[in-house]
Every structure is written in C-alpha cells, then in structure tokens.
Structure 1
C-alpha cells in the first residue's frame, strides 16, 4: 500500500462533501499538473491518502481511500488528464495544520512542507505515521 495527500480548496470540494458521497466516492478531477497526474497514475485501489484543505485552512482533516485507479478525467475531453476515485474513510481526531508539519523536524522532507502547491503528492509511511501521531491518533 502507498500513501498520498490530496489537496482541495474548501470552496471547491470540502471534506464534508467528500463524506457525503459515501462509499460511492468521487473522482479527484480537475488536476492539470503533470506531476500530480503522474502520481495518480501510480495509485492502486486500497491506497490511502490524507485529505488536505488548502487556501486559508491549510490543514489535514481526514483520510480517503483510492477506490478506482487512474482513468480519463470526466471534466475534460483532453486525453492527457486522468484522475482516480476516492472515498472518505474517516476524519482525523484532530486536524494537522501545515504549520504543525513545518514545525516538526521529522517532516522536513515531506512534499507538503517543501512543495505546498502540488495538489496530489506522495507521503512516506513514516510521514503518514507522524501525521497520525500529531493528530492524536498514535501509530
């Protein structure tokens, strides 16, 4: 299993909207960055990801699961763009802010800390466990 982080502006797609989709999940569509698209092409069913509210909130609020591997993005006719489908698994006990991640030296190499603009990004297993710990969930 691999771990990821998915970023969304609350005004575009919020954690509450993701939760409301239930087990049906939703396409993680609209990504127009080649690196982020390539990360989605690597994802497998069952991979887990953090759901991150970008813009003013800047915090990890929940966990999603990949439920459909890379396929054409339904929001465009341009065949360069793919997406995966994700469903909400559960909220984090406590949100983990970008500031908390930046302040923790164990997360110094985390993509979120070094490239906070990338909308889909990998998370190492160690980083995953550290973020869960920061959320008050232990390992």
Structure 2
C-alpha cells in the first residue's frame, strides 16, 4: 500500500463537501510532479486530506477508489484524475504548525515542497499524523 497527501482550499472543496458527495474525482492538477503522483496511486491506497490556505491542517483520510484516467475538465492528454472516497474524519485536525514542529515529520513533502498539491508520504509519516490527531493539541 502507498500513502499520499492531497491539498484543497476549503472554500473550493472542503472535507465536509467531500463527505457529503461520498466520492469525487481529483481534478485541476496542473503540475507534472503532482500529476505523476496521481498516476502512482493504486486502488486502496490511503490519502490524507489537507485544507490549504485556510485552516492549514490535515482533516481526514480518504482512499483511492479508481486509478488514474483522463481529466474530464480538459482535453489536454497530459492531465489525469483519480477517484477518491472519504474514509474517516480525524479526531482533531493536525495543523501545519504541529507538523513543522514534529522532528519525525521534518522531511515530509508538506514541509519540503509546500506548494505541491499531491504528494507521496512514507507510512511512518502517515501514521505519525494519525497519532498526532489522537492527542491533545
């Protein structure tokens, strides 16, 4: 199994809206590294959902339910989407500030490549964020 993190501005597509929808395709990626990360996703892989700009926190866990295919919002064959479904809301959001302060997350993509919208994660990083969500801030 692989682990990823996707970012969304809550005013554009929030975790709450994602839960209402129950499933969505992850579109709008226009960065080749992020696109390659979408292409690496396999059905069943787990994905952290991060609210960017407002909130700046990991708020939930999703899973890949359909592997990459042509982005239906563009005719450009360079861009793809995957389908995601929500799995669970974190016990509490894990803020970017907390992530940056945790030495075990010092090399996480969210810190090293803050502008990347779809990034890979190590299992240990993924698990650490879940662990942080179960602790008091």
Trace 1:35-114 onto structure 2 (pairs within 5 A).
Answer: 35-114=33-112
Deviation, 1:13, is 0.6
How far apart, in 2, do the equivalents of 1:5 and 1:88 lie?
13
Trace 1:8-47 onto structure 2 (pairs within 5 A).
Answer: 8-22=8-22, 25-47=23-45
How far apart, in 2, do the equivalents of 1:119 and 1:125 lie?
19
TM-score between the two structures when normalised by the length of structure 2:
0.96
Which deviations, in whole Å up to 9, do the C-alpha atoms of 1:112-137 show, x marking residues without a partner? 11111100001100001110110017
Aligned length: 135
Tell me the C-alpha RMSD between the 2 structures: 0.8
How far apart, in 2, do the equivalents of 1:19 and 1:56 lie?
18
Kindly indicate whether residue 6 of structure 2 is the aligned counterpart of residue 6 of structure 1.
yes
How far apart, in 1, do the equivalents of 2:80 and 2:130 lie?
29
The DSSP-based 3-state class of the residue aligned with 2:83 is strand
Gaps of 5+ in 1: none
